Amino acid sequence: MMTRLQNRVAIVLGAATGIGAATVHRLRAEGASVIAAGLQPQLLEELARVSGASSQPCNVTDDASVCSLIRTAVDRHGRLDIVVNAAGVVVADDVATITDESWQKSIDVNLTGTMRVCRAAVSVLIKSGGGAIVNIASVAAFNASAGMASYAASKAGIIALTRALANQYGVHRVRANCLCPGWVRTPMSEAEMCAIAAAKGISKEAAFSELEARIALRRVASPDEMAAIVAFLASDDASFVTGTALVADGGARTPASARGI
């Protein structure tokens, strides 16, 4: 394993499962000191034990919780170099029947939560001499599925926020980029596929098989594959990459087609 991130300090939000957990392992393997943060303390503690990271509970909808996480990074390590925003929720809804509560949940966690972390972190990144922000968006930002109105809107907002960050703070050597995954085998996508399978009257694995037939690479991704992209965007190998939305979907904008199988 490369050590591109030796002596870097990183925080990963949404670290308990899925892409977030895989990212913690990958950043640690590449030499970074990592604080794994999220809402599931027991999972975070086990992740920290196995990976060699440290952990801290953090609720991205609570500004005090976010600010406490950033202070912890500075208090423990004296700096902050990498911020990965992988906290997120999926809420199924459509425009004609969406409730304010459903809309607000997606926006509060996915978009406003990402903003809160970036807002708290950017001055610390600047003081550290620059750094990298990697926000996890989705291909839904480009090609939204029926029944995913608030999720798609929140993820599109993350891309716009990221580009604003990149343009504002590039002069301070802060890079900001988005990873836009397609289907990845995570607890979140498993739950989503279970709902699709139930609606079609088939098994979850049969639904995944039908989905995979529509992807150029004929499979869904693993969290480790997404974590590898995060590590690239966080590293000096991506030193001239900022303001981008990197799509990793196996060759298909699959969220738009999955419900039409």
Phi/psi for 17 (5° steps) reads -145, 175
Mean pLDDT over 70-87 rounds to 97
What would the pLDDT profile of 7-45 be if each residue is shown by its tens digit? 999 999 999 999 999 999 999 999 999 999 999 999 999
Split at pLDDT 50, 70, 90, the class of 252 is confident
Residue 1 has pLDDT above 70, yes or no: no
What would the pLDDT profile of 116-143 be if each residue is shown by its tens digit? 999 999 999 999 999 999 999 999 999 8
Buried b or exposed e, range 105-141, using 16+ CB within 10 angstroms: bbbebbbbbbbbbbebbbebbbebeebbbbbbbbbbb
Mean pLDDT over 158-170 rounds to 98
- Say if CB 134 and CB 83 are below 8 A apart: yes
Q: How many CA atoms lie within 13 A of 229 on its CB side?
A: 22
pLDDT for position 193: 82
pLDDT for position 256: 46
Task: Enumerate the domain spans of the chain.
Answer: 9-184+221-250
* Average pLDDT over the chain, rounded to an integer: 93
For 130, the 3-state DSSP assignment is coil
From the candidates 28, 47, 133, 151, which is the catalytic residue? 151
- Say if CB 75 and CB 178 are below 8 A apart: no
Closest CA to 148 of 88, 184, 98, 207: 98
The Cα–Cα gap between 190 and 185 comes to: 7
Answer yes or no: 169 catalytic.
no
What superfamily would CATH give domain 9-184+221-250?
A: NAD(P)-binding Rossmann-like Domain (3.40.50.720)
pLDDT for position 255: 44
For 179, the 3-state DSSP assignment is strand
186, burial (CB in 10 Å: exposed 0-12, middle 13-18, buried 19+): buried
The Cα–Cα gap between 182 and 219 comes to: 11
Alpha-carbon separation of residue 38 from 15, 97, 196 (angstroms): 6, 31, 27
Mean pLDDT over 177-188 rounds to 93
Does an H or E element contain 38, and which? Answer: strand 33-38
